Amino acid sequence: MINIEIDGKLVETERGSTVMDAAHKAGVYIPHFCYHKKLSIAANCRMCLVEVEKAPKPLPACATPAAEGMKVHTHSELAIKAQKGVMEFLLINHPLDCPICDQGGECQLQDIAVGYGGGASRYTEEKRMVNPKQIGELISTLEMSRCIQCTRCVRFGQEIAGQMELGMANRSEHAEIMSFVDSAVDSELSGNMIDLCPVGALTSKPFRYTARSWELSRRKSVSPHDGLGANLALHVKENKVARVVPVENEAVNECWISDKDRFSYEGLNSPERLTKPMIRQDNKWIEVDWAVALEYVANGLRQIAGSAGAEYIAALATPHSTFEELYLLQKLMRGIGSGNVDFRLRQSDFSSDGKLTGAPWLGMPVSEINACDRFLIVGSFLRKDHPLLAQRIRQAVKAGGEANVVHAGDDDLLMKVANKAIVAPADMVNQLAQILKALIEDQGAPSTQSSVLNPQSLPALQGIEITDTALSIAKSLAAGERAAVLLGNFAQQHPQAGQLAWLAEQIAGLCSAKFGFLGEAANSTGGYLAGAVPFAATVQGMNAAQMLENPRKAYLLLNAEVELDMHNPQLAIAAMRKADMVVAMSAFKHQAMDYADVLLPIAPFTETSGTFVNAEGRAQSFKGAVKPLGDARPAWKVLRVLGNLLDVAGFDYNTSEAVRDECLSQGALADRLDNHMDDVELQGIQPGPLLQGGEAQPGKFQRVTDVPIYFADALVRRAASLQQTNDAAPPVAMLHGDELQKLGLQSGDLACVTQGGISVQLTVKIDGKLPRGVVRVPAGHPATSGLGAMFGELTVERA
Amino acid sequence: MEKIKEFFKTFLLVELLKGMALTGRYMFARKITVQFPEEKTPQGFRFRGLHAQRRYANGEERCIGCKLCEAVCPALAIKIEVAEREDGTRRTTQYDIDLTKCIFCGFCEESCPVDAIVETRIFEYHGEKRGDLYYTKPMLLAVGDKHEAQIAKDRASDAKYR
């Protein structure tokens, strides 16, 4: 620690920190544009010039290391003169028409110009003009002439997003920010550049010219999308969410949010919003009152429970539902005597049910990811599924960590990956077993090494041959001091998810690593804690897959669009069609119009109070920011009334907080999180069936399914601007080039993809990084919703 | 002594005669009553009357929808909605002034960066219903179009004092 004096205030600051850091500590504000605490130092705007005693000239505070005994004056005559001079230079080329600019009112340059700018411009020559570039549907560069070349956006791309999509071309007056020739900014974090831009050069395209900053009221909320639970500020104008910006929370989302969190608000007022309760009568939808609709639902459920039995009623919820909704749904179901409730809609292997000792979670606080030095990421489309967790891992890898990947697809993670095993889904268990075996052999007798290792499973490892990749992954993990083994969405949806998780736990145990699940959605951990799983209470029932395999007579759907949100949409639709009564509680009209009997309009996250328990087990509550649209009502109120109508005890809540407190009072949250599983048996550690002998049946493939980032949940599917990005392109079937050649197809051809007797036509594309024997077909899109299970077998033929 | 003076004053009706003298003076003085509407009082070029929206000489409306007038209006009389026009500029889709709320402070005119919203010399407007005094964008533009010559002249007279 060193002592430095800023404006007469003595501050103690760390060795190696800058004058800017010290000033921040002392609470002294130094004007700046290019400096940002999360980005590298560029010192090119020169706005932060300060006077340092004994230095001949003013020095930039952001790039001057603090030294012992340094005396800094930020408001001395010299400093102010320097800052005013810089301001005048910056305004030479900056247009002085703030009233036209979309950034007006929230512009750093405007604010600082009030303090340091002159009353009038002395510059009478021509100003610089920069032609706008088309860089995608999210960021507008129409006002590129306003750029002051602070290069924050460029540094963000390089350092945080991991890919340099914007750069500064040319020099001095001709310097301009542009993307590479004809390419858009595709990063899933690109929206943060809008926040970073201190002027109005990069602005939000969907928000452009819809409101001025002073008209917006700011309300805090939490992202309903991925498992991170990013903190959001909803900017509300006239009972509408006009835009979404991040709220800084160093422990969760730092100061970033993903584009999915930022732009999904456009779906909130989509024309597809359901605003009136509706009942199907004589195959026509009629709008009814809430009282009629709820009475209808209650009567229907009572009848089915009476005639067929309560176990013929099933409930499916998405993990994007709030904690309170999930809790009340399972309480309602168990109240009427059915344990058929599940929120793990895309999961297919439920073998770990009942063996779990707690709710699966990240295994560590989110902020600890940055401190890890070794990663094993199993089955995750990391960047698209968890944009901000990927960013944290990227920072850790940059700081000297090593990332290892076991997965069925090889998308660019935009970080250095030390070892990767890209294998067919059927081989993933084998791959993990190899790593485990390599670790055991590396460390000697397992009995002494680890108590977590189940010796009974060891014989299963005997026939395993360790490949070089597995060995190097094992070595990499063993060499680390703080390793982490993380299971992604793909691994959790995998048909052998239980075994993958068990093996991952053993691997983590052997190299004293943290073992965690990357939560798919906002409440993937919360759902377990809310008890919205069939094994959570004494009244037990069927899991999501069983409910479809053994069709039930009544289905309650909470936010779920079964044709897009389920592991096997084909089976789901069939089960819905067979049911006597399907009650769809949804914020949107969707395909349920075909199979449901009652549509109940419920409020999305902005219109209801609720809680999301994120992957690290942090319960984050939020309040409704706007009034529900039309007759929509918060789902927890709908469920409460349903509970009352069905005479279920304990449904007299006045607030959602009362629901939350009741559920959370069952024990400290942290104690209820545990990834450990008892007695999982290892089976099937052989090469996958399709790969045996290296030759599969011609035209038959195993499906590898990703859920594209902008098709993952109901809200984001309706966000207009996100749907125009490259990430939301219509689904294509991707195969290895050799496989395509065998089929006699070329990249770009139309192929007929058949699964479970239903064919769809998809364009085929070459992905040379995919393993052979698999075809990658995304889920969550209407074009592929006719197909079957996410990991099923399908055939590809020439169309 | 004082008492005697008072007694004679009341007795001789001095106050009455003084008052009559004043009345008599005014009877023959020059009349200043303005016979409105045949006659009108003179107005300054900074007179703040009915609002108008102006256009440029080429017919393009001046207003850029920056909403500064809406923000500054102390009576919350202005309501603006904006949208991007086809040519990419921000334009108002709604610009309403509720004249029953307006206190004619002139802040809107003061804050306008493009001299789009102005207050004219017109003060003898009326409405038969309350809603008639809710001026919308076409009404304001019509006022501007009709009186542009006078408006421009007044701005020019005021310019040298700014």
Q: Is residue B153 less than 8 Å (CB to CB) from chain A?
A: no
Answer yes or no: do B66 and A215 touch at CB < 8 A: no
Mutate to test the interface with B, among A134, A144, A212 (most CBs of B within 10 A): A212
Residue A179 structure tokens: 């993307």
CA angle A711, A717, A721 (to 5 degrees): 110
Q: Does the interface ipTM go beyond 0.85?
A: no
**Spans in chain B with pLDDT lower than 70:** none
Chain A residues within 8 A of B114 when measuring between CB atoms: 99
In this prediction, residue B15 carries a pLDDT of 87
The per-residue pLDDT for range A655-680, each reduced to its tens digit, is 999 999 998 887 788 888 998 887 66
Kindly identify which residue of chain A lies nearest to residue B72, measuring between CA atoms: A214
- Chain B residues with CB under 8 Å of A215 CB are 67
Work out the average pLDDT over A110-115: 93
What band does A683 get if pLDDT is binned at 50, 70 and 90? low
User: What's the per-residue H, E or C state across A245-258?
Assistant: EECCECCCCECCCC
Residue range A620-657, pLDDT digits in tens: 999 999 999 999 999 999 999 999 999 999 999 999 99
Q: A235 CA to chain B: closest CA distance, Å?
A: 17
pLDDT at residue A457 in the model = 62
Greatest Cα-to-Cα distance within chain B, rounded to the nearest angstrom: 93
Inter-residue contact A59 to A48 (CB < 8 Å)? no
Which residues 93-122 in chain A show a CB within 8 A of chain B?
97, 99-100, 102, 104
Which pLDDT band, with edges at 50, 70 and 90, does A310 fall under?
very high
Handedness of CA A344, A349, A353, A359 (dihedral sign): negative
Q: Which of B71, B83, B90 sits opposite A100 (nearest CB)?
A: B90
Distance CA(A47)–CA(A759), nearest Å, equals 62
B68 part of contact set with chain A, CB < 8 Å: yes
- Give the pLDDT confidence score for residue A686 in this predicted structure: 55
Two structure tokens written together for A40: 């590298």
Distance from CA of B23 to the nearest CA of A (A): 59
Q: Give the ranges where A426-467 is alpha helix by DSSP (H).
A: 428-443, 446-449
Q: What confidence category does residue A89 fall into, taking pLDDT thresholds of 50, 70 and 90?
A: very high
| Interatomic CA distance for residues A218 and A479, integer angstroms | 47
Residue B66 has its nearest CB partner, among A100, A142, A210, at A100
So what's the pLDDT on residue B7?
86
CB A343: neighbour CB atoms within 10 A? 29
Contacts of B89 in chain A (CB under 8 A): 100
**Interface contact B90, partner A, CB < 8 A:** yes
Q: Give the whole-angstrom CA distance, residue A532 versus residue A327.
A: 6
Burial of A32 (0-12, 13-18, 19+ CB in 10 A): buried
Percent of the residues in chain A that have a pLDDT greater than 90, as a whole number: 77
A720 — pLDDT class (breaks 50, 70, 90)? very high
Q: Which residues of B touch A104 (CB under 8 A)?
A: 66
Strands (DSSP E) along A398-537, which ranges? 402-407, 417-422, 483-487, 514-517
- Alpha-carbon span A283 to A474, nearest angstrom: 60
Judged by a CB distance cut-off of 8 A, whether residue B67 touches chain A is: yes
What does DSSP say about strands A774-776 and A176-179: parallel, antiparallel, or unpaired?
Answer: unpaired
Asked whether the beta carbons of residue B68 and residue A99 sit closer than 8 angstroms, the reply is yes
Q: Which residue of B has its CA nearest to A97?
A: B113
Please determine, for residue A533, whether its predicted confidence score (pLDDT) is greater than 50: yes
CA distance A51 to A20: 12
Least confident of A83-97, A172-186, A212-226: A172-186
pLDDT at A476: 94
Paired sense of beta strands A619-622 and A700-704, if any: unpaired
Non-local (6+) Cβ contacts of A669 within 8 A are: A529, A613, A617, A619
Q: Write down the pLDDT at residue B84.
A: 92
Is B115 within 8 Å of chain A by CB? no
B156 in contact with A, Cβ within 8 Å: no
Distances (CA, A) of A503 to A182, A355, A429, A439, A477: 45, 15, 8, 12, 14
One-letter-per-residue 3-state SS of chain B: CHHHHHHHHHHCCHHHHHHHHHHHHHHHCCCCCCCCCCCCCCCCCCCCCCEEECECCCCCECCCCCCHHHHHCCCCCEEEEEEECCCCCEEEEEEEEECCCCCCCCHHHHHCCCCCEEECCCCCCCCCCHHHHEECHHHHHHHHHHHHHHHHHHHHHHHCCC
At A691, the pLDDT band (50, 70, 90 cuts) reads: very low
Q: Report whether pLDDT(A120) > 70.
A: yes
Work out the end-to-end distance of chain B between its first and last CA atoms, rounded to an integer number of angstroms: 65
Which pLDDT score is estimated for A403? 96
pLDDT band of A756, cuts 50, 70, 90: confident
* Residue A359 · residue A672 · CB < 8 Å: yes
Residues of A in contact with B67 (CB under 8 A): 212, 215
Q: pLDDT confidence of A426, banded at 50, 70, 90?
A: confident
Residues 6 or more apart in contact with residue A484 via CB below 8 angstroms: A363, A364, A369, A372, A374, A375, A376, A508, A513, A514, A515, A516
User: In the predicted model, is pLDDT for residue A279 greater than 80?
Assistant: yes
Which residues on A lie below 8 Å from B90 (Cβ)? 100, 102, 209
Helix (H, G, I), strand (E, B) or coil at A174: helix
Contact A209 B82 (CB under 8 A): yes
Q: What is the mean pLDDT of residues A440-454?
A: 59
**Residues from chain B contacting residue A102 (CB–CB below 8 Å):** 90
Q: Which of chain B's residues have a Cβ under 8 Å away from the Cβ of A97? A: 113
CB A586 within 8 A of CB A602: yes
Looking at residues A74-93, what average pLDDT do you find?
Answer: 94
The verdict on A142 touching B (C-beta cutoff 8 Å) is: yes
The proportion of chain A whose per-residue pLDDT surpasses 70, expressed as a percent, equals 96
Round to whole Å and give the CA distance between A317 and A187.
Answer: 30
B64 contact A CB<8A: yes
* Chain B nearest CA to A153, separation (Å): 24
In 3-state terms, what secondary structure has residue A10?
Answer: strand
Mean of the per-residue pLDDT values of chain A: 91
**CA-CA distances (angstroms) from residue A481 to A402, A441, A476, A550, A616?**
11, 19, 10, 48, 21
Interface of A with B in 69-98 (CB under 8 A): 97
Question: Are residues A717 and A708 in contact, defined by beta-carbon separation less than 8 angstroms?
Answer: no
Task: State residue A692's pLDDT score.
Answer: 41
